[in-house]
Structure 1
Amino acid sequence: MRQKLFFLGLIVMFALSAIGHFGHWDMTLQFVISAIAIVFVAGFLGKATESVAHYAGQRLGGFLNATFGNAAELIIAIFLVKEGLFDMVKASITGSIIGNLLLVLGLSVLLGGLKYKEQRFNARLADHNGTLMTLAIVALFVPAVFVKIEHFSLDQDKLLSIAVACILIVCYLLWLVFSMITHKDMLADEEMSADHGEEPAWSKGVSVLMLVVATVMVAFVSEWLVHTLDSFTHKFGLSELFVGAFVIAIVGNAAEHSAAIMLAMKNKIGAAVEIAIGSSLQIALFVAPVLILVSTLFNKGSWMDIVFSPIELTAIGVSVFIAKSISKDGATNWYEGVLLLMLYVILGFAFYLV
């Protein structure tokens, strides 16, 4: 019954979003409808990914969930890049990273911890994840310092941005080889390989088909949402930084929210951590660099560099620091979830006042 209501809501909100866009409804109303619609389609994407993960295994499943969960954010960001809204793109990248590390992981740890006194996962995997996130921070910090202090020319800035982007993509691809192939057994989690007798929602073929359909729906609703952003931010006097870092990031993270929390409440905290932290890694080491390269194709006269503002670097830095501190021992409890969420609220207030 619950699943039928979900799919009814999905169809209704997708249809309303389409009608609002092509019928040129009030921009604020379009924004609200599109935001609700993208939560539904992201949830649909999460369900399809979870079903595919049943056949692919939980380790690969966590990666697939993070990848397709980030599809919504990547598609939204590509449309923003096409419109030349580079500051909002950088803010949405920042919001995605801190949203996954603080909001998604925080809610998963809190709700899982309320049900189980302590939840454990592979500490070695957590250590590697923390090291990779530190690399991401350093890779974003270095261009910001050199470009600003040394007053790099536009050509130097572009060359450095493209070089760093390519290096980060290579690092991410090598991490996949390391974690999925050469050291797969060392980083495995026992609870991540157990399905607890659960049945997938669909057959293998239908699951893949649903994944494709969900991704296409995300692409359409993302374009309709981006179309309303400029009017929405001006009407309510919100900064691009706040809208990108919190509004777009929360909406785009809907798939990870639902999947990670459900897994944590089934005592699969390792899979939940894999989704939350793995998604942040993917954003920092793959999605952001890809957007840098894509911007050079869309905009011949202007392009997006990899220089983030001090505010954005601070937000990412403190989020990585507390997430690494909490996860390094391979065990979590509900209070650690509270700490992550409190930092997210603090950053939310600070960004709103910018």
Structure 2
Amino acid sequence: MASLNNRSSSRQSAVDAGEEELAVSSRRSETLPTHKEGSEKQKLPPVFHVNPAGESGRSGVDLIPFLKICVRSTCVVSMVVNILWPFVIPAIVIHFARPDLHVWTFALNYIAMVPTANLLGFAGGELSKKLPKVPGILLETTLSSVVEIVLMMTLITNSSPSNNLVPVIQAAILGSILANLLFCLGMCFYAGGMRRDEQVFHAAVSEVGSGLLLVAGFGLLIPSAYYSALSGSTNGNTFTLDQLLANTRTISRATSVILLIAFLT
């Protein structure tokens, strides 16, 4: 009888431990999404040509497999974009050979930017799979925004009192925010709803992503609203236009620092 009681108590404790482990795992899944492992990896659509886990297991650098992976990319659309690579060399040549042809320089460089941005995003995605989740996501997001970063740096460098490019910079930043907040999100909803009657989204991820984009939008709005509200109150004595511009720059720089901290945290 004592042995039976011990066995029943051990079985009950094992059942209780299993239920507790299931409860903890369910609470974790409610907080953040987890990567899907196991047989679900085999259910990927056939458009993916590169192993989603990355091309691991090699040592050193081999040029031929590297070029093959870059050409295959992640899907058919990305692979088709690679036909635009021949535009890269003419775009560089015409920039130095004929700088007076502004329209041709812009058109060729715009076309050449498409495959380079595609390859950079693909490389960031592959590299992020070799890193922990949070650093990988930060690296992939940073590499995906290199085109916008280079554009902003170029506009800021070429901006002058006679050729003020700050409104162009503000419009580009606002357009990027709205494109991610509205266009990309709407296309995800549309593409996801084509084969599904009902879509399920994780509350924490969607709220954080939308909240960060809204914070970025307000970060751009606050300095502009400050300048617009006080631009009519300037005079030549107590509050001059130079003081207004200096205060606006201070607010803008402080806002940028806050946005960088929010991005890193």
> Taking structure 2 as the reference length, what is the TM-score of the superposition?
0.56
Map Cα deviations across residues 159-194 of structure 1 (whole Å, 9 max, x no partner).
Answer: 3332343244235414532xxxxxxxxxxxxxxxxx
SS of 1:55's equivalent in the other structure is coil
- Number of residue pairs aligned between Structure 1 and Structure 2: 177
Tell me, yes or no, if structure 1 residue 163 matches structure 2 residue 251: yes
Whether contact under 8 Å (2:227, 2:245) holds in the other structure is yes
Percentage identity across aligned positions?
21
Tell me, yes or no, if structure 1 residue 72 matches structure 2 residue 147: yes
Tell me, yes or no, if structure 1 residue 114 matches structure 2 residue 183: no
- Kindly provide the amino acid, as one letter, of the partner of residue 146 in structure 2: A
Specify the alignment match of 2:93 in structure 1.
19
Map Cα deviations across residues 301-331 of structure 1 (whole Å, 9 max, x no partner).
Answer: xxxxxxxxxxxxxxxxxxxxxxxxxxxxxxx
Whether contact under 8 Å (1:46, 1:65) holds in the other structure is yes
Which of 112, 135, 138 aligns to 1:37? It is: 112
Specify the alignment match of 2:125 in structure 1.
50
Specify the alignment match of 1:123 in structure 2.
203
In our comparison, the structure showing a higher alpha carbon Rg is 2
Q: Structure 2 unaligned runs (5+)?
A: 1-67, 74-78, 160-164, 235-240
Whether contact under 8 Å (2:155, 2:169) holds in the other structure is yes
Structure with a larger share of its residues in helix:
1
Deviation (angstroms), 1:126: 2.4
Q: Could you tell me how far apart the structure 1 residues matched to 2:81 and 2:190 are?
A: 28
Q: Could you tell me how far apart the structure 1 residues matched to 2:169 and 2:223 are?
A: 17
Alignment of 1:175-194 (within 5 A): 176-177=264-265
> Taking structure 1 as the reference length, what is the TM-score of the superposition?
0.44
Runs of 4+ in 1 over 6 A off after TM superposition: none
Tell me, yes or no, if structure 1 residue 102 matches structure 2 residue 182: yes
Return closer, same or farther for 1:154/1:32 CA change in 2, 3 Å cut-off.
Answer: same
SS of 2:145's equivalent in the other structure is helix
Structure with more relative contact order (C-alpha pairs < 8 Å, separation 6 or more): 1
Q: Structure 1 unaligned runs (5+)?
A: 178-354
Return closer, same or farther for 1:118/1:16 CA change in 2, 3 Å cut-off.
Answer: farther
Alignment of 1:321-332 (within 5 A): none
Which of 83, 103, 112 aligns to 1:9? It is: 83
Deviation (angstroms), 1:16: 1.8
